[in-house]
Amino acid sequence: MTPERFKRITDMLAMRQTDLTVCMEEVHKPHNLAAIVRTADAVGVHRVHAVWPRKRIAKRKGTARGSQNWVEVKLHQDIQEAVAELKASGMQILATHLSDSSVDFRAIDYTKPTAILLGQEKFGISEEALALADHHIVVPMVGMVQSLNVSVAAAAILYEAQRQRELAGCYTRGCPLPPEEQNAILFEGGHPIFARICKQKELPYPQLDAAGEIIADEAWWQKVQMSRSSWTHLDDDEDDLPEA
C-alpha cells in the first residue's frame, strides 16, 4: 500500500459518521441502490440498511459492501427488524412521506443520530414503516411532479445532513470505528489481493502497522502461499514452524 493510499483511507475513516444512515425499504432498481450507496459514501455514512422480502434475502448475504467496497450494506428481512435495530442505537427515524404531519426536510436536526427511511420506487414507504417513524419529512415541490426519484431525494436529504454536521464539527472528531474494524477496512482497501486470499482460505486478517504494512508471523505467510489442504494439515504441526 502506498503512503498516499494509506493516508486517503485513514482520512476517510476519520470522517465516518456511524450515527447517520439510510434504510431502503424494498428499493430494488440497481441504479437507485448504487446511487444511494454512492451518495452515502460521499457524505461519510459508514453503513446503510436495506429491507428485502424473505424470498429475495435468502439469495443474498446478511451484509455486503457497495460503492467500491467502502460502505457496508446490512440486509434485513422486514421493516420491524430494521427499525428496531436503528432505534436500539438511539437513532431518530425519518420517513420520506407527504402527510398532514410532514415537515420540510431542512427543519430536522441531523446532528442527532439519524436514520432516513426511503421507500420502494413505485409505492413508496409502507404504512407499517410510516407508523414506526418519529417524523415524516418532505422535499418541497413547486412544479407539477409530487416527488423526486428516490436516489435524488436521498442525495438532497443526506447533503443537508452533511451541511449541518460539518457546521457542528462532526467530521473532526476522529474515527469512531472499533480498532479491529478499522484494521479490516484498511487491509481490504490497501491489500486487496491478500484480503481475497484470506477470505478464500478463511484466514484472519493480520494487523497493520502505522504505515499500513502487514504485521504477520511466518506461519501466516506460509499459509497464504499454500493450498488450503496443505496449511490445514500444517495446523497440526505448528510447533515445527520456524520462528517469525
Summarize the annotated binding site for S-adenosyl-L-methionine as residue ranges. 96, 139, 148
**CB-count exposure of residue 161 (10 Å: 0-12, 13-18, 19+):** buried
Backbone torsions φ then ψ of 60, nearest 5 degrees: -125, 160
**Residue 44, CB half-sphere, CA atoms under 13 Å: how many?**
27
Q: Give residues with Cβ within 8 angstroms of 121, minimum separation 6.
A: 27, 28, 29, 32, 150
Cell 423526486 appears where? Answer: 148
| Annotated binding-site ranges | 96, 139, 148
82, 49 in Cβ contact below 8 A?
Answer: yes
92-96 and 135-138 strand pairing? parallel
Q: Is the sign of the CA dihedral 68, 74, 79, 82 positive or negative?
A: negative
What is the spatial distance between Cα 158 and Cα 172, in angstroms, rounded to a whole number?
18
Backbone torsions φ then ψ of 216, nearest 5 degrees: -155, 150
Q: How crowded is residue 49: how many other Cβ atoms within 10 Å of its Cβ?
A: 22
Report the amino acid identity of residue 169: G
